[in-house]
Structure 1
Amino acid sequence: MFSEIISFVSDFMYGKMLIVLLLFAGLYFTVRGRFVQFRMMKQAVLSLMDKPADNEGKVSSFQALMVSTASRVGTGNIVGVSTAICLGGFGSVFWMWIIAIIGSASAFVESTLAQIYKKRGDSGSYGGPAYYIEAALHSRPLALLFSVFLILTYAFGFNMLASYNLQSTFSSYRFYNPKWTPWIIGAVLAVIVLYCLLGGGRRIAQITSVLVPVMGVLYVLVSLLVIVLNITYLPEVFGRILEEAFDIHAIFGGFSGSCVMYGIKRGLFSNEAGVGSAPNASASADVNHPAAQGLVQVLSVFIDTLLLCSATAFMCMCSGIEPSEALSGAPYVQAALEKSLGSVGPIFITVSMILFAFTTLLGNLFYVDNVLNYILGHVPGKVFMTIYRIIAALVIFVGAGLNAGLLWDIADVTMGGMTIINIPVILILSKYAFRALKDYESQIKQGKKPVFHAKDIELPQKVDYWQ
């Protein structure tokens, strides 16, 4: 019964409500920002090079990008894309691209707001949606509700799913026994993650800043190799993507299983634009101007969906293997690579999944740490955090052995709850993000290194920084 209820809520959320909300907000921010995600791409790349004035103990713009990308770039880039293609068809890839392109404008707004309203702490800055909801809208109950959804999403929904997705890639090996292998893999993963967590948030930033670029580049290179080996399939693949993306009968005949729904569902799960997760990492960055970090987060969305999700999609679609419900998830990707690269293909996917899942788990729990600080009103004590991290590790262990359909639905529902709160809030507050963008662009045109002051955008609230 629980599974059926969760499935019903998920279908309701993504059948109409979230799709309209995400598309409207993304289009509004894109037009209001005059296509900021494209106009300011060069400046976004340059912003990555900025380093804190005092490097000691500060999180750089690049490190904040890597933490947010670590959460975005995960098992959804492999298993999520495969699931969308197998259940929604080739057309789902097109809608995945659309939600990333227009959603990147939402990512800019939410991360810029997180920087504007960030708080000053003993070891640097911190913030996120909970903080800008309370500071700007003066609604702690709404901020607390958002925080609860974030914990349910990142400590439970996403992490259980990441654990399951990781162990599922071992199902093609002879030693895999569905009764006990998932639990063994879950236990090993939980212990490794717990070890990293006990090192604190700073270690998370250090580990992810190394692993994310390495695994991302390697994954794209292998994807390109597979595509080149099967390049004759490309024209047919592009044709099917466009044909199925605009198959009106298929879309509206059964919307709950259409390419639009699966593309947006899995696209949102992967890039998280507008969900309200990345702003928690963005707020920790030590930058001279909030808009700079907002632009950096646009890059994170593009890296996740337009690069890595597309890499998986084309690897699969160019293989010549027809997607089906039976192949949904890791099996489709493994079958595609085995056909192109032989026995080394499934092994590569397994290694990629281990790295993707690992960095996802760490990035997710970085967000939960931040929200716990907000709920309690102070940095939790060592005993509390140790107990919480043990529970977080146990959740990872349990997720490895649960049902895939239930885990996808739980993650979609909890993520949907965050999005339903965050999008209206950033729509209300977006004027401050765009004033910050205008100030940033004005200083760039004058040849200055942009520096931000809250009074320059007539911010009515008092903030810890930017005075």
Structure 2
Amino acid sequence: MLNEYLGSLNNFMYTYILIFLLIGSGVYFTIRTGFVQIRRIGDVMRILKEKSRDDDGVKQVSSFQALMISTASRVGTGNIAGIAAAIATGGPGAVFWMWLMAVIGGASAFIESTLAQLYKVKDGDSFRGGPAYYIQRGIGKRWLGCLFSVFLIACFAYGFNGLQTYNIATAIKFYIPDFDNSMWPMIIGIVIAALTGLVIFGGVHRIGFITSVIVPIMAGGYILIGLVMIFTHLSAVPGVFKEIFSQAFDAQAIVGGFAGSAVVTGIKKGLFSNEAGMGSAPNAAASAAVSHPAKQGLIQTLSVFLDTLVICSTTAMILMVSGVPVSQDITYVQDAVSGTFGPIGILFITIAIFFFAFSSLVGNYYYTESNLRFIKDDKRLLFVFRLTCLAAIFLGAQASFDTVWNLADILMGCMAIVNIFAILVLGNQALKVLADYDRQRKEGKDPVFFASHIGMKPEELDYWHDEDHVPGWDTEK
């Protein structure tokens, strides 16, 4: 009964509240920023090449590493199984609405990540920040920042991370007879927890390094498989696109059974795959050492596009060109790939799920640590918290998380409501930062930001003052 209640609340919140909040804020910021997620996308590759450094020469988290941390969290097993469920539930037309939401959501991602950079705090040789930090410093409501942090920690550390391990165990189940009654779930839980522990106890620098290696390889291999599928089924591609666009605007699909229509299904899967506006990715965006807050805002728009327009689209094309019967779980993807690659295709999907899930474990953990330290920055508390995170990962391999999944979804919805309120209140500050960036770009400069550029006083920010810039970044002051 509890699970049914949570499921009903989950569906109501996402179908009738969050969709409209996220779409509304996305459209609003798209207009206010002048479609920044599109018009400034050309700057992204130049920014990714920048090297980060501190005054004393200590190597910090780069824009690329911050991008990989956020992409690691965004790109998970939902990019495989979630897309199968979207097509099965809402039809091929759902894919179009996923694409549209990625473009609109890019503006919200820009605003929240720019704010995270603006209000970040120095933490030894690195930075941390996110919604909790800009809520406290920008709005002056520490209690609201703590509430956001509690929602995020409960959702990511004990909900989504346990689920990622469960998905790994489920994928491996295919190869092991009587898996559920064997020791294998426990062994898998121990191995995944141990591997995660090696990363998270190494700090943010190790997290940045690991994700910057795993994510490109993981995504590149998966995209390559998708391209092979497309080229071996080239004759089916025009029909796939015709089906996507025709069913996206089918009146019966839109009006009849709205909650399960192509529109709602595509919007839900798109928004909650790329997390634009949800308040999670800004925690990674704040960690980067850049010369201007808008730079990391732009980088995070790329993360949204990579997640939905590239990875999710790859899954959609694999499924739809294959012509295999539709189902709502991972078997849909396994059948689609095995039709072209045989048993090796199923093995590849299993490996892909492992890397997608493991990278999400690491990226999700980084978010939770940053928010725990916002509530209370204590080394002993952090050590105990890390152990509880590893325990959740261990247990996740051994049990179904239906109730925890619904609860985590609700907590993530609560996160989004708090974050959308915050970015709407503080949005003008991010728009001023963008205007300063645009001005310097028009003058042919590599933008460098100082708080005084937008009239902010030293006491309003912990960083971005004259003394905070390294040589070479302050030449255009």
Smaller-chain TM-score bracket: over 0.9
Q: Which of 290, 301, 304 is matched with 2:304 structurally? A: 301
Ranges in structure 2 where 5+ consecutive residues have no aligned partner: 466-477
Equivalent pair of 2:60/2:205 in contact (CA under 8 Å):
no
Which residue is 1:153 aligned to?
Answer: 155
Superposition deviation, residue 404 in structure 1:
5.8
8 Å contact from structure 2 (residues 53, 59) kept in 1: no
Change (3 A) 1:244 1:399: farther
Contact 1:76 1:269 in 2 (8 A): no
Q: What is the alpha-carbon root mean square deviation over aligned residues?
A: 1.7
Residue in structure 1 matched with residue 64 of structure 2 by the alignment: 62
Contact 1:291 1:440 in 2 (8 A): yes
Q: Does 1:73 align with 2:71?
A: no
> How far does residue 276 in structure 1 lie from its aligned partner after superposition?
0.7
Q: 1:92 aligns with which of 91, 94, 105?
A: 94
What is the letter of the counterpart of residue 192 of structure 2? L
CA offsets per residue over residues 266-298 of structure 1, 9 Å max, x none? 222321111111111111111100001100001
Unaligned runs of 5+ in 1: none
Cα distance between partner residues in 1 of 2:170 and 2:234? 29
Q: Give the Cα separation in 1 of the matches to 2:91 and 2:176.
A: 30
Match of 2:454 among 447, 453, 457: 457
- The answer to whether residue 153 in structure 2 is matched with residue 141 in structure 1 is no
Q: Report if aligned partners of 2:58, 2:125 keep a CA contact under 8 Å in 1.
A: no
8 A contact 1:157–1:414 mirrored in 2: no
Task: Report the number of matched residues.
Answer: 461
Quick check: 1:15–1:255 contact (8 Å CA) kept in 2? Answer: no
Amino acid at match of 1:287: V
| CA distance in 2 between partners of 1:364 and 1:64 (Å) | 13
Correspondence list, 1:25-424, <5 A: 25-54=25-54, 56-175=58-177, 177-180=179-182, 181-324=184-327, 328-376=328-376, 378=377, 380-381=378-379, 383-403=380-400, 405-424=402-421
Other structure's SS at 1:263 match? helix
Q: Does structure 2 retain, via aligned residues, the 8 Å contact 1:168–1:330?
A: no
Q: 3-state SS of the aligned residue for 1:120?
A: strand
1:262 and 1:400 mapped to 2: Cα distance?
Answer: 28
How far does the alpha carbon of each residue in 1:291-314 deviate from its partner, in whole angstroms, 9 at most, with x for none?
Answer: 011000011111111001100110
Partner SS, residue 122 of structure 2: strand
3-state SS of paired residue (1:355): helix
Using the alignment, how far apart are the partners of 2:151 and 2:359 within structure 1? 21
The SS at the match of 1:318 is: helix
Residue 11 of structure 1, CA deviation: 0.7
2: CA distance, partners of 1:184 / 1:94: 41
How far has the Cα of 1:8 moved from its partner?
Answer: 1.1
1:435 paired to 2:435: no
TM-score in terms of structure 1 length? 0.95
1:425/1:271 CA distance change after superposition, 3 Å: same
**TM-score when normalising by structure 2:** 0.93
Identical residues among aligned pairs (%): 48
